Amino acid sequence: MACVVRTLADLDRELIDCRACPRLVEWREHVAVTKRAAFADETYWGRPVPGFGPADARLVIVGLAPAAHGANRTGRMFTGDRSGDVLYQALYDVGLASQPTASHVGDGLELYGTRITSPVHCAPPANKPTPAERDTCGGWLADELDLLAPTMRAIVVLGGFGWQALLPILARAGWQVPRPRPVFGHAAHVELAGPAPLHLVGCYHVSQQNTFTGRLTPEMLRGVLEQAKTLAGLGG
């Protein structure tokens, strides 16, 4: 019998049926029913949100988790909320997205050589997954990165939570993570040896807490994305 190769599309289809974390399942479904007043007429996605972008991406962006009324509503990473507004504008500015806005799944947005994912795929209460939820969901991220490994050359990590979740996954997958482990910081850059050279770049998260206070400016975000784009071999 021929061996059936699991693809990224297969992984995404399996992921959206996951019910492994009771607290997250309860919350994502509660939000999908109660909704926010501004979206009262919309049907919320209310399930795990798969990664978004091509299966041969050279650059991967790792966030934290879907927003309750953003990706948990639309079903696509960083789509339909203010964090996504900031991220997709920057991706468009540096030539990695086809348009500067992301409002819904059918809006025509495409990413060029870039895939966006997260260590936790369900919206958590107060945007704070527990360590147990992070570890449970980490298997999905590990499988996703394994499928992306043949082409993946750089990862931008948005925030310290994603950084801490990602390093052990990379180590288990065969990349040589230094000891002590690299410390997260904005524009932190580490090159890892492994299945293929991999550049890891830190970036403050595109949360409103950071963008509204000026801790992360559009110029800072574009700078990191330009650097990662070059490191990934996607052009200058």
Q: In this predicted model, what pLDDT tens digit does every residue of 191-216 receive, in sequence order?
A: 999 988 999 999 999 999 999 999 99
| pTM of the predicted model over 0.85 | yes
125 is a domain residue: yes
Asked if residue 197 belongs to a domain, the reply is: yes
187 in any annotated domain: yes
> What residues contact 148, with CB distance under 8 A and at least 6 apart?
8, 55, 57, 60, 115
pLDDT class for 6, splitting at 50, 70, 90?
Answer: confident
Q: What percentage of the chain carries pLDDT values higher than 70? A: 97
Whether 222 maps to a domain, the answer reads yes
Question: How do residues 39-83 score in pLDDT, each as one tens digit?
Answer: 999 999 999 999 999 999 999 999 999 999 999 999 999 999 999
Query: What is the pLDDT, as a whole number, of residue 4?
Result: 56
Alpha-carbon span 115 to 111, nearest angstrom: 7
Say what the pLDDT of residue 201 is. 98
3 state SS of 2? coil
For 13-19, the CB contacts below 8 A with 24+ separation are: 15/48, 15/50, 15/121, 15/140, 16/47, 16/48, 16/49, 16/50, 17/47, 17/48, 18/48, 18/121, 18/122, 18/137, 18/140
Domain for residue 207, yes or no? yes
Tell me the mean pLDDT in the region 112-128.
97
3, part of any domain: no
Average pLDDT of the segment spanning 205-231 = 97
What is the mean predicted confidence (pLDDT) over 159-171? 95
Residue 11 lies in a domain: no
Residue 82 and residue 185: Cα distance in Å, rounded?
22
How large is the average pLDDT for residues 90-118? 97
Range of the domain at 45: 22-231
Domain count across the chain: 1
Q: Is residue 7 a part of any domain in this protein?
A: no
Domain holding 122: CATH number?
A: 3.40.470.10
